[in-house]
Every structure is written in C-alpha cells, then in structure tokens.
Homo-oligomer: A and B are copies of this chain.
Amino acid sequence: MSEDKLTGYRGELRSALEKVGAEIGDRLEIAVNNQQYTGSLMPRVESYDDWHIILKLKSGYNIGLAHSDGMKIKKVGVAEKPEFRPPPLPEAEPGLPKVSIISTGGTIASRVDYVTGGVVSAMTSRDLLGIVPELVEIADVDADILYSVFSEDLTHKEWEGMAERVYDKIDAGADGVIITHGTDTMGYSAAALSFALQDLPVPVIFVGSQRSSDRPSSDNATNLMGGVYTAAHAPFAEVVVGLHETTSDTSIAYLRGTKVRKCHTSSRYAFQPVNDWPIARYIDGKVEMINDRYRPRQPSEPRLLNRFSDKVSLVKFHPDFNPTILDWLIDDGVRGIVIEATGLGQVCKDLWPAVDRARKEGVIVGVTSQCIWGRVHLDVYSHGRELVDRGAVPLEDMHPETAYVKLKWCLGQTDDTEEAKRLLLTDLVGEFNPRTPYLEGSR
C-alpha cells in the first residue's frame, strides 16, 4: 500500500530508525533493558501507537519492543529487495467444488510478506494459499485482484465492476464466490450486489477481517476458511456477509446482504443482522441453516443488473435540522433522497415544504428510521400521514443504508419515476422481512 521504506513508523521512533539507515525487512540488532533481540524489521500495518518496533525473530514470532531512550538499534543486514518469491503452491485435491475469490482491498487483503517484509495489499491465489494452505483441502480455489482500494473510497462504479466479475465467475462454473472487502462499507456493497445480481444459482459471500493478519487476534484466516467452505457447500444462493458471530473464534454468521450492517468500530463480530435472523452459521466445519427464509442453491441463470444512479442522497434528520439541505439537493439535481427519520418515520413539520417540492420535481423521497431496528409506519401519527400525503414513500423495515443503495439501484434501472417507485416498494431479494424480529432476535 505504500512505497514508504519505514511503513507505519512515525515520530521519534521513525527518526531513530532513519538514523541507522534501517528499512523494512533489514536485519536489526536491538538492545533494550539488558536484553538483545535480532530479527527483521516488520512494517506496521495498523498503528495503535507510535512507540513500538516490530521485529520478526528467527523463530518466526513477531515481537513488539517499546522504544525508549536507552534502546540501541544496530543494522546488521539488508532487506532482500522486493523481488516476490512465491511460496510453493499446493495443488487442489481433484473433484472439489470450485470457489472463486475476488479481492477488492481492505484489512483482510493487507498482509505482511514475510520474505521481503513489504506490505502486500491484495491477494493472488498464491498469496492466499500461502497464508491459509488449508484452503486446498476445502475447495478448488482461484483468486484474483479486482481492486486494491480502501473501502471508504469505493463508489457505485466499483459495485458495478464487482457484480460483473462475480457474474463472469459464475458463468465460468464457480460453485460459490468470495469477495474480500474492507469492512467499513461492506454492508453497502453487499446490499448493492444483492440487487445487481438476481436469480443467483450459488452463494456470493463477502469476507473481511477486523484485525489484520499481523495481529495475534486476527480473524483473517478463520473468516476465509469458513467463507470458502460455505461458498462451496452451503444450500443457499444469496449475497451475504460472513464474519465472526460472537466473541469466540468458533462460529461465523452469514447475514443477508440487504439486512446487515457494521455495528461496532472494532469488535470481530461487528456485523449484525437488522430486522432478520442470520441465514446460516459455519461451525465445527459444517454449515447450519438458521433462517427458513432464503433462496436455495439451484441451477438458474443469474441476471446481471449492475446499473446504479449517482443522483441519490442519504440524509439524517435531527433536532434543528436545516430544511434547506433538501432544497440544495433538489437544486443539485438529485433524483432520490432517503431520509433517516425518527421513530416510526416522523420528521419535523418544517421539512414538509421541501418534500412537497420534491414531489413536484419528480424526486423520490424515501422514509426510513434512524432507530435502525424495526419498521417505519407513517400511518400511526398525523406527522407521518402528512409525509405520505406529500408523496413520501415509507420503506418498510429496510434500514437506511440498504434503502439508500436500493433507491440508487432502482433509479439506475429506469428513468421513469413511477416505475422506480414500484421497484422500490417491491420485495426483490428479501430486503423486506414480513416478520421483523425484535432486538433479542436480531442480536
């Protein structure tokens, strides 16, 4: 991810390393607290602090040494320069299901190359099998790099590209597809692909990790192995997200792409179902089905519907909300606005004129709730009815992010506002749950 010769090192520690001419991969001798350590200087992929040197010892273990005034650093060897030496590639066992892995970036794809010491930002099949050689016993895996970007930089263009690549892999005979992806916007991408790839014959599984592979608590390998097994064998054919289900390493939950969101900044089980149960879980080397509402694996011809409008906005209502924001958006030419209203779908009455204007100008206004869980119901209170009378569209139990992605998709399919509204209100891939579970069901 970087040309930096001291990737991840900052401040005083960086100066100390520069002083001895150290670069990532160089062999260093470090003396601190009457102890001496020799090893290769590792890059820091995630930097929670800026005072630890990471050394890879001969034993293969990484250690972190806190920088202090008394620390002595000596360079005793030079890094082998980045000529990539592939690990021996294991052969897949014959007759195994075919699983394609598409890499788009993110923490799961960032790994430290222990030969060169450089940070490799995305995985080829070779890289992957180098990290998790067990995969060859699970499936006949092929992997390639589609994108190598931070997930917060992904746009609808990449959603379109991902959908197309998955389509091609299925066309080429994949029994399941894995997309490795940064977790930050994984929920949005999973919703996007749910709409962009319909009538799926096989599972499409987003896999990510919350801790990079150079950290001891990494969920990288577990999530990948579970994902590949599930892609190969699970009886469902939907777009799902699969990361740790709980604090423990023992199970991975597969959550419907339209009913999932990242609900914790750092925990390994950050992904939670919204108004739905998990579809399945990978545990003890098997796939357990949980939800009776799913599309089964089947011999069908997938449809690639990968057009998204970029004229849609997601707006969160709050006390003292400035209604002018909606006017700015309409002036700017948006064709759709999803509002995160309060409670059952209420906003303050100062917003009504802008909603009126939106209708007059053919802009679809969808209403969701910032509660996230539960269903909007604009018929209960008079403020809600005022919104419906002004043409606003209550979006059932879709959470705001999925509603936003769906409206982008609807307006990417058609230029006709009424047809887009009809699509928006039709349950296409399980995005509406007729039986919305309460919190205890969803967490």
Residues of chain A having any CB pair with chain B under 8 Å: 1, 46-49, 150-156, 159, 182-185, 188-189, 246-247, 262-267, 269-270, 272, 310, 312-320, 322, 324-325, 328-329, 332, 340-349, 369, 371-377, 379-383, 400-401, 404, 408, 438-440, 443
Contact = CB atoms under 8 A, between A and B. Distances in A.
B156 A371 contact: no
Given A185-B319, A316-B316, A342 B377 contact: no
Contacts of A439: 263-264, 267, 269, 272, 443
A49 B188 CA distance: 34
A152 B47 CA distance: 42
Nearest to A408: B320
Instruction: Give the secondary structure class of A's interface.
Output: loop
Given A46-B380, A262-B342, A263-B439, 15 more contacts: A150-B381, A156-B320, A183-B343, A247-B438, A264-B371, A264-B374, A265-B369, A265-B371, A265-B373, A265-B377, A266-B374, A267-B438, A315-B316, A322-B332, A372-B372
Nearest to A383: B150
Contacts of A151: 342
A412 to B, nearest CB: 11
Given A48-B379, A264-B373, A349 B153 contact: yes
A152 B347 contact: yes
A150 B267 contact: no
A153 B263 contact: no
